[in-house]
Amino acid sequence: MTTTSEPGTDAGLDHFRTLVALQQPTWPDEAALGAVRDRLAASAPLVVPAAADTLRSRLAAAGRGEAFLLQGGDCAETFAEANADRIRNKIRTILQMAVILTHGASMPVVKMGRMAGQYAKPRSSDTETRDGVTLPAYRGDMINGHAFTPEARVPDPERLVQAYQISAATWNVVRAFTTGGFADLRQVHEWNRGFMRNPAYARYERTASEIDRAIRFMDACGADFDALRTVEFFVSHEALVLDYERALTRRDTRTGDAYDTSAHFLWIGERTRQLDGAHVDFLSRVANPIGVKLGPTTTPDVALELARRLNPDGVEGRLTFITRMGAGNVRDALPPLVEAVARAGVPVTWVTDPMHGNTITSASGYKTRRFDDVLDEVRGFFEVHRAAGTVPGGLHVELTGDDVTEVLGGSEEIDDAGLALRYETLVDPRLNHQQSLEMAFQVAEMLRR
Ligand code: PEP
Ligand code: MN
């Protein structure tokens, strides 16, 4: 083990406390929060520094165009759904997408879940009103409950401990599925079992058959299959609740560097990326690979200053910019950022999040997205990078392994009336299993060119 636990304070790591931190819960009881922070600070890390370092080198490869990042999972995980079935379905979806991308584009795929810690959400309003009743907004299971009652909506610091424990249990299951027999590439057909009727699954089945044939060929040649048996998988979440992230930060005994051991990769959201804010300061002080979401109002100067502050030493793989511009904006808003960063020479891995700039309300009142808009943003992202001579390094999507109906369109042609059938998300709409595979086939084609 290469970490030490770190009770007490640290002038550098605690500097963020002197700055403005947006989107933090108002905890009702500071003493209870303090006790929880001490318990978390004395807890075992969820990930070790060496694994975060490995991910940094993978993201460096993605930044150079030698690999492609696939990052996916729920908008908000929930405690209630942290069970083996749901986790396995998500892992299977990500593995199937990765197979499609690797096979279609002959490109190594870095696999990362928005999983095992994605329990806190920034909200556009502090309150929610229903039928004339106003309560605090739901901020994710790490903070309060989703039920629309005054009791549930009070932030409870005990939930930070629960988030840590459920993240640990989730990561344990993720590891079991990605290193046990389930992820063995010879199972490519198994992952599709029971889903054969619609077009994306039939297409997947053909890809799986080609992979099968290639494996049998290599087998006949006497090739060694160790690399096919297990999958390297990383976990990530938005670093939003700074008391949680700080309490899980440890110094690496090898180097003295600080690592946020709550995940391999942390990102700063579009709403908390202020240059002089607490989130940028805190994340600038941990050695993990980190990301920042950039929306359509980002100026080249802000992007450059973020790059300078978050990656002052110009380390490849350290900083990922996750752009979420909207399909209608990406072709205009992205080029100036990409060009400014390229000119400055700071290494950045560019990833597209085609979900968050494309959220709409359907006529029937559901928060949704159109599959075609999502695809169009990815297409625009590739076009911009190809024109600028920069590298489209990855895809960040909200998805689930289940057959929900939250995003409009796809080959099942989910329409407004169809949304009601199985709309389950507590926050943002996710691609379902089939839409996720369709997306992967399209992105594989964009990558191939
Ligand atoms: C999210 O990833 O769920 C999110 C809130 O994104 P953004 O910060 O880009 O709005
Ligand atoms: Mn979201």
List pLDDT tens digits, range 232-268.
Answer: 999 999 999 999 999 999 999 989 999 999 999 999 9
CB of 291 within 6 A of ligand 1: the answer is: no
pLDDT at residue 2 greater than cutoff 80: no
Q: Is 34 left (phi over 0), alpha (psi -120 to 50) or beta?
A: alpha
pLDDT at residue 274 greater than cutoff 60: yes
CB of 75 within 6 A of ligand 1: the answer is: yes
CB of 269 within 6 A of ligand 1: the answer is: yes
CB of 396 within 6 A of ligand 1: the answer is: no
To test ligand 1's pocket by mutation, which of 270, 298, 306, 358 has the most ligand atoms within 8 angstroms of CB? 270
Residues contacting residue 155 through CB under 8 Å, at least 6 positions apart? 25, 26, 27, 28, 136, 139, 143, 144
| Average pLDDT score over residue span 411-428 | 94
For ligand 1, what atom is nearest to the CA of residue 293? Answer: 9
Express each pLDDT in 49-102 by its tens digit. Answer: 999 999 999 999 999 999 999 999 999 999 999 999 999 999 999 999 999 999
CB of 122 within 6 A of ligand 1: the answer is: yes
With cut-offs at 50, 70 and 90, classify the pLDDT of residue 190.
confident
Report how far ligand 2's centroid is from the alpha carbon of 190 (Å).
30
- The crossing angle, in degrees rounded to 10, of helices 330-344 and 300-310 is 50
DSSP one-letter string for 50-111: HHHHHHHHHHHHHHTTSSEEEEEE-SS--STT-SHHHHHHHHHHHHHHHHHHHHHH---EEE
Predicted local distance difference test score (pLDDT) of residue 196: 67
Number of Cβ atoms within 10 Å of the Cβ of 218:
13
Contact 409, 370 (CB under 8 A): yes
Ligand nearest to the CA of 426: 2
> What is the value of ipTM here, to two decimals?
0.99
Euclidean distance between CA atoms 414 and 420, whole angstroms: 10
For ligand 1, what atom is nearest to the CA of residue 271? Answer: 8
Among 124-133, 187-196, 313-322, name the one with the lowest average pLDDT: 187-196
CB of 86 within 6 A of ligand 1: the answer is: no
For ligand 1, what atom is nearest to the CA of residue 272? Answer: 8
CB of 263 within 6 A of ligand 1: the answer is: no
Residues in the chain: 449
**432, 445, 323: which is closest to 89 by C-alpha?**
432
Ligand nearest to the CA of 268: 1
Report how far ligand 1's centroid is from the alpha carbon of 2 (Å).
32
- Minimal-distance CA residue to ligand 1 atom 4: 269
Sign of CA dihedral 346, 352, 353, 356: positive
Express each pLDDT in 348-392 by its tens digit. Answer: 999 999 999 999 999 999 999 999 999 999 999 999 999 999 999
Euclidean distance between CA atoms 303 and 400, whole angstroms: 31
Report how far ligand 2's centroid is from the alpha carbon of 427 (Å).
7
Report how far ligand 1's centroid is from the alpha carbon of 93 (Å).
21
CB of 139 within 6 A of ligand 1: the answer is: no
Report how far ligand 2's centroid is from the alpha carbon of 428 (Å).
5
Ligand nearest to the CA of 291: 1
Report how far ligand 2's centroid is from the alpha carbon of 12 (Å).
30
Euclidean distance between CA atoms 390 and 386, whole angstroms: 6
Ligand nearest to the CA of 293: 1
Ligand nearest to the CA of 351: 1
CB of 293 within 6 A of ligand 1: the answer is: yes
176 sits in which H/E element? helix 158-179
CB of 107 within 6 A of ligand 1: the answer is: no
- Minimal-distance CA residue to ligand 1 atom 10: 270
Predicted local distance difference test score (pLDDT) of residue 192: 81
Report how far ligand 1's centroid is from the alpha carbon of 115 (Å).
14
pLDDT at residue 412 greater than cutoff 50: yes
- Minimal-distance CA residue to ligand 1 atom 1: 75
Ligand nearest to the CA of 120: 1
| Average pLDDT score over residue span 284-309 | 98
The three-point CA angle 163-167-171 to 5° equals: 180
To test ligand 1's pocket by mutation, which of 356, 359, 369 has the most ligand atoms within 8 angstroms of CB? 356
Predicted local distance difference test score (pLDDT) of residue 361: 97
Q: What is the residue-averaged pLDDT of the chain?
A: 94
Predicted local distance difference test score (pLDDT) of residue 348: 98
Among 49-58, 177-186, 430-439, name the one with the lowest average pLDDT: 177-186
Contact 6, 251 (CB under 8 A): yes
CB of 356 within 6 A of ligand 1: the answer is: yes
| Stated pTM of the model | 0.96
